[in-house]
Amino acid sequence: MPQAVRKAIFPVGGLGTRFLPATKAMPKEMLPIVDKPLIQYAVEEAQAAGIEDFIFVTGRGKHAIEDHFDVSFELDTMLRERGKNDMLSAIRSWMPSPGQISYTRQMEPLGLGHAVWCARHLIGDEPFAVLLADDLVLSQTACLKQMVDVHGEIGGSVVAVVDVPREHTDRYGILDVGNDNGRLASVTGLVEKPKPEDAPSTLSIIGRYILQPEVFDHLDKQEKGAGGEIQLTDAMAATLGTNPFHGLRFEGRRFDCGDKAGFLEATIAFALSREDLAMDVRKIIKSYTDT
């Protein structure tokens, strides 16, 4: 049986320039969808998948993330004194236990592959997950849980994938695939941001990965790829052939919250998925579309 996936890396070292000025003094990962920061959705998804160790790869100006995953004594005391137990639970119930979270610094934002490599000593020699908080998934079963279940059956590496329009392939990591049963596709190649005419398929990797520690052997070389960045996709491509590698078309809907339109769409979709907000939000949307 494949070794269980117990550890997850959350790369949060990016600069978030597409959201300036909001991200001038606040990490992009702390932007809220309705009332919860992006990074909390990602951590809760990992918890739902059975992850026990949460490794954040941070950079300068990311203190708000550490504070968010820490006890706030003043707020706790004030809410307890006022008998606001539901709010107390809203700020505490989802927090990993003491010692389950570690932080390491990327020091320089040299690319996603570099951010993942910075966590190599905390991962050691076991399979691990990577979650990018700016990719948000609304699903019945947590996206990473779906991937962990596939990994539990066939092992190796598993990436979550979606079909994208061909004209968008140059924004994403794209798969070359062999066997494809419509849900699971075996990966025969990976290429970062190919031009539409060069793309081997339109299956794009989203920010959810289960990887094997061999990926660090390639990342050790610090080779730069597309855009002059150290790309995770290139390191994953280098491990092809050593282990099974699959793309999973997961159940659920993905929102690219690193992009303004995607972020706004996620806000609407998550608000509509909430019982306390859906009716009001529907009315608001209708009032704009009726005019």
Residues making contact with ligand UTP (CB under 6 A)? 11-18, 28, 57, 106, 109-112, 114-115, 132-134, 258
Q: Residue 203 corresponds to which amino acid? A: L
Q: How far apart are CA 249 and CA 126, in angstroms?
A: 24
**Which residue, 156 or 173, is less far from ligand UTP as judged by CB?**
173
**Which residue, 109 or 244, is less far from ligand UTP as judged by CB?**
109
Q: How far apart are CA 203 and CA 90, in angstroms?
A: 37
Q: How far apart are CA 91 and CA 68, in angstroms?
A: 9
Q: How far apart are CA 171 and CA 203, in angstroms?
A: 12
* Other Cβ atoms within 10 Å of 94 Cβ, number: 14
**Which residue, 23 or 202, is less far from ligand UTP as judged by CB?**
23
We find the least distance from the C-beta atom of residue 5 to ligand UTP, in angstroms, to be 19
> Is there a contact between 168 and 180 (Cβ–Cβ < 8 Å)?
no
We find the least distance from the C-beta atom of residue 115 to ligand UTP, in angstroms, to be 4
Q: How far apart are CA 112 and CA 132, in angstroms?
A: 10
**Which residue, 72 or 222, is less far from ligand UTP as judged by CB?**
222
* SS3 assignment for 164-221: CCHHHHHHCEEEEEEEECCCEEEEEEEEECCCCCCCCCCEEEEEEEEECCCHHHHHCC
* Other Cβ atoms within 10 Å of 159 Cβ, number: 27
> Is there a contact between 192 and 233 (Cβ–Cβ < 8 Å)?
yes
**Which residue, 31 or 281, is less far from ligand UTP as judged by CB?**
31
**Which residue, 29 or 281, is less far from ligand UTP as judged by CB?**
29
We find the least distance from the C-beta atom of residue 28 to ligand UTP, in angstroms, to be 6
We find the least distance from the C-beta atom of residue 238 to ligand UTP, in angstroms, to be 19
We find the least distance from the C-beta atom of residue 133 to ligand UTP, in angstroms, to be 6
Backbone angles phi, psi at 33, to 5 degrees: -105, 110
* Other Cβ atoms within 10 Å of 192 Cβ, number: 22
**Which residue, 14 or 247, is less far from ligand UTP as judged by CB?**
14
Q: At what angle do helices 85-92 and 73-81 cross, to 10 degrees?
A: 160
We find the least distance from the C-beta atom of residue 77 to ligand UTP, in angstroms, to be 33
We find the least distance from the C-beta atom of residue 12 to ligand UTP, in angstroms, to be 5
